Each structure stands twice: as structure tokens, then as C-alpha cells.
Structure 1
Amino acid sequence: MYAAVTLFLFMCLTATTHADHHQPCHTPNMTGFMSVTNLKGEVKAFGAFTYESMGKKLRFRSNESHPANTSHGLDLLMFFDEGIFYEIDSKNQSCEKKALQCTMHPLDIPDDAKFASTINSGSPSIEGEGLKLNVWKGSMPDMKGHYSMSVTMGCLPVSTFYFSESTSFYFSNTDVETDIKDPDLLVVPSFCHGQPVEETPEGTVNSFLNEFM
């Protein structure tokens, strides 16, 4: 399995574009499930997400009952345009408000992403048995790494590799729907109102990705 993942990653990274007219698209509103796995096969988190494209707001809640029993207990509310996010503890009615130093996340293609290739997952010749994907790649200067993102023709992110000198992660999205089923999930809980922004320790980079490291 890991050999196949590594091969796919290599193909995505080494592919070169032959169509300079490709421009990054922007994802629509989405709900679905996201899994986060490192390249050792360890599940770092699995849970439901809600993403508002226009407002660039993301709620991710990990499912602690996931069979792998290795998920982080995370409840994150991210406001990428505002540069802040909340770590929420609904059980104890508490939260931490923090500044975002990096707004990269696996549900939208960065504006400076470079088109790498178009690939077919499954069989393109059998109806209903294939999925055509555009692959985008780019660098992450803050993390001294790179990413490779596979996106459907309708601009729905399917999977993203993030890899740096110290760690690598694979984000996979499933059961995605292009609407927001519960808008209240993107509203700051009442018990978080008035919460001050915590001071960020020197050398710390707060981001959605760093929550899984």
C-alpha cells in the first residue's frame, strides 16, 4: 500500500504541465469527512468538516470513536480571512482563541499553485469506473516543504500530500456534498465570546496543518 502511495506521490511531483492556460479553481461550499494519515500508515485524525468557500471558514471535528482509535480529539473553527482560529472543548464549555500564522489548508487550491497534470483514477474507458483529476503542486516556505493536491473537474479536493523535512501527511476527503448542512457550526460558540487571542510563543507557527503534527 505504502509503495503505491509513494509511487503516486512521485508521479504527481514529477509531472510537468503542457497547458499553461490552467488556472487554480476555488472550491464551493462543502461538507464531508476528512482523514489524516502519515506515511507510516498511522491515522492522525478522522472527522467531519464543514467549509464555507466565500467566507473561508472551516469547522473540523474529529470522531474519537473511529475504529483506528488513534484520532486526535480535535474541534477546530478556522477563520482564514481573519487570521484566527478556535480550539473548542464543547464538553467543558471552553475554548482557546489563537492567531493563524499560515492559512494553507487541504480544502482549497492556493492561488500560486502550479498545474502539474491530469490523471485518471480507476478506468477511464469503463462508464462509472473512473475519476478524472487535476493535480496541482506548490511549495510551503514556512514549513520548508511542498504539497500535491488532486482535485476533480468540478474543483472538489479529493486528496492532498503535504511533505517537509520533518514530516509528511496525506489528507483524504470522502462523502463530499456541495452545501452547508448546519451553518451554526461556523458560528463562534457563545462560551467563546470575548475570548482574548492567546500570545503565540516565539518560533511557533499556528495553522490547520500544524494541528496534526
Structure 2
Amino acid sequence: MYAAVSLFVLICLTASTHAEQHSCHPPNMTGIMSVLSMKGDVKTYGTFVYDSMGKKLRFRSNETTPTTFNTSLSLDLLVFFEEEILYEIDSKNQSCEKKALHSTMNSLDIPDDAKFLTTVHAGSASVEGEGIKINVWVGTETGTKGFYSMSETMGCLPFSTFYFSGSTTLLFSHLDIETEIKDPDLLMIPSFCQGLPVEETPEGTVNSFFNEFM
């Protein structure tokens, strides 16, 4: 974890000027996502499905966590970013919480207003087939004012995201990505969640994808 943070700091310090670049958006995806805190503990680990066109995301940590990980969060989230709605799902108890979403940012899709920082190589840039070119983007999350650094490989596939908010720092890593939605039903609202009213948000609370992992 500390090595990853050091890499981020190094990128910031050594970033050079490039021609203007514009952020891109990923294709449909299925993969694995892990979330680590600055302290080095694994917050959660699970599978995700992302509909790039519909701006829909499902993340499930239950039943996917390796026994070697001592995670602190068990989550089942269904997020409709365009509708600004987030569902916290409890399939075991057949229940849901439906929340108004105050930010449409997530770790998989670079915002249009993100600023390009630099391009780096993971591995060796001098040996053919050994290096991965990574573009790094930075910005501030609207609504929460959290700062982020997002990296993506060629083809706009998400690599990792650092998210900083107050005293909290999270690292989102995206693994084993396949550019397809293997199970579209995961992006459907479960029958026991349908028709629910949006819950009132307590004063001072911000509902966002990132805050679910705090």
C-alpha cells in the first residue's frame, strides 16, 4: 500500500507537460475491484459489472472475498448514476435502502472535467511487451470536494484510483477486466427493491459511490 502511495507522489512530482488530452470513457466491463485504506487494510474485495452507456454499476463483495483477506465491509451496491439513485441491497434479508445520489463519480469512469497529469509506464518501457502505458488524471469530486487521482490504460480501461477526503485515503484497484457485461440481470433492480421511496438524507450527509467505502 505504501509503495502505491509513493508511486502516486512520484508521479505528481515528475509530471511533465504534454499536449492537451481529453478524458475518455470505458466500454462495458465485468471485473474485480479491491479497496484498500491508507493504513493498509483491505476495506472490501468483490466483483463489479459496469454499463458504460447506461451509467449503471453493480458491486458485490459478498461471496467473492478470498479467505486470506480480513475485510471490514460487506457491500452489495446497485448505482444508477444518470438517475442519481443508489441501492444498498441485502439479498439475505430481501431488503434494500434507496438513496438519492449526490455525486455521479465512481472509480471506473474518468469525469469529463478531469485534468490530464501525465503518462507513465508500469514495468519496462524499453522492452517490447513488458510495459503498460498508463494515463493519469486528477480532479476534485463535485459535491464532496474529495480529491482523486485516476489512472487508465490504453482503451480507457480503469487501472487504479486514489481518493482523498479529509483524513481518509482509499485505493481502488481494478483487476481481471473483461469488456462485456456477462450477467445483465445484475443491473436490474431486485423485485424486493422495486417501488421503494427514496430515503431522507440526514443533514450533513453526502451519498456517493466513494462514501460507501469510508
- TM tier, smaller: over 0.9
Distance 1:98 1:145 in 2: 20
Distance 1:89 1:63 in 2: 10
Cross-structure match for 2:148:
147
Stretch moving more, 64-73 or 74-83: 64-73
Stretch moving more, 66-75 or 101-110: 66-75
Distance 2:190 2:165 in 1: 34
- Secondary structure of the residue aligned to 1:142 is coil
Cross-structure match for 2:17:
18
Long gaps (5+) in structure 1: none
The answer on 1:29 being equivalent to 2:28 is yes
Distance 2:71 2:203 in 1: 29
Distance 1:180 1:26 in 2: 16
Distance 1:49 1:39 in 2: 22
Contact 1:15-1:116 within 8 A present in 2 as well: no
Contact 2:103-2:142 within 8 A present in 1 as well: no
Contact 2:44-2:61 within 8 A present in 1 as well: yes
Cross-structure match for 2:43:
44
Alignment of 1:3-152 (within 5 A): 4-16=3-15, 18-63=17-62, 65-66=65-66, 67-152=68-153
Letter in 1 for 2:69: A
Q: CA deviation at 1:104?
A: 1.1
The answer on 1:175 being equivalent to 2:176 is yes
CA deviation map 1:78-136 (0-9, x unaligned): 00000001111111111111100111110000110011111000012223321110011
Q: CA deviation at 1:70?
A: 1.5
Contact 1:85-1:97 within 8 A present in 2 as well: yes
The count of aligned residue pairs is 212
Distance 2:145 2:113 in 1: 16
TM-score normalised by L of structure 2: 0.94
Distance 1:11 1:114 in 2: 17
Q: CA deviation at 1:17?
A: 5.1
The answer on 1:186 being equivalent to 2:192 is no
Contact 2:102-2:143 within 8 A present in 1 as well: no
Inter-CA distance 43–208: structure 2 relative to 1 (3 Å threshold): same
Letter in 2 for 1:8: L
Distance 2:146 2:199 in 1: 27
Percent sequence identity is: 64
- Secondary structure of the residue aligned to 1:10 is helix
Stretch moving more, 121-130 or 43-52: 121-130
Q: CA deviation at 1:20?
A: 3.7
Letter in 1 for 2:7: F
Distance 1:196 1:14 in 2: 47
Letter in 2 for 1:158: F
Q: CA deviation at 1:165?
A: 2.2
